[in-house]
Copies of this chain bind each other. A is one copy, B any other.
Amino acid sequence: MSKSSSSKSQSFPNEDTPSCDAYLVHLDRVRQVQPEIMPVEKAQQMAEFFNALADPNRLRLMSALANRELCVCDLAAAVKVSESAVSHQLRILRSQRLVKYRREGRNVYYSLADRHIISLYQEVSEHLQE
């Protein structure tokens, strides 16, 4: 997902890049904005977070968990995906601390990490409604 750095036409006082470059760009604006741009590292972190939510099955898992705590097995049945696939996806949700879990006997029960997530969901819902 993006490689960062390492292509030509990137630094400014540059060589043979054809179109809009160096003094053709609105240098003043670029300089003004540049310090405000999210640093690559943080962008990477945030992208991973959004990425965890960028899958229909994971969202369906989340919506199931919004109602009640469920074990992997029930989640698989509810969302109609294999248990293995569910487990893989829960790992991704876990890695972004979107869900938490507890073990009870042989089952592992998952639930949403915090209500925070729900308001995010609602906000996006509204945006998509328009």
Contacts and interface: CB of A to CB of B under 8 A. Distances in A.
Given A12-B77, A55-B1, A60-B43, A67 B33 contact: yes
Contacts of A36: 63-64, 66-67
Contacts of A56: 1-2, 4, 40, 43-44, 46-47
Main secondary structure on A side of the interface with B: helix
Contacts of A40: 56, 60
A19 B72 CA distance: 12
Contact size range, A: 35 or more
Interface string A1-24: 110110101111000000111001
B55 A53 contact: no
Interface string A22-52: 0011110110111011101001111111110
Given A2-B57, A47-B55, A56-B1, A70 B29 contact: yes
Nearest to A11: B80
A54 B47 contact: yes
Interface of A: 1-2, 4-5, 7, 9-12, 19-21, 24-27, 29-30, 32-34, 36-38, 40, 43-51, 53-60, 63-64, 66-68, 70-71, 73-74, 76-83, 97, 116-117, 119-120, 123-128, 130
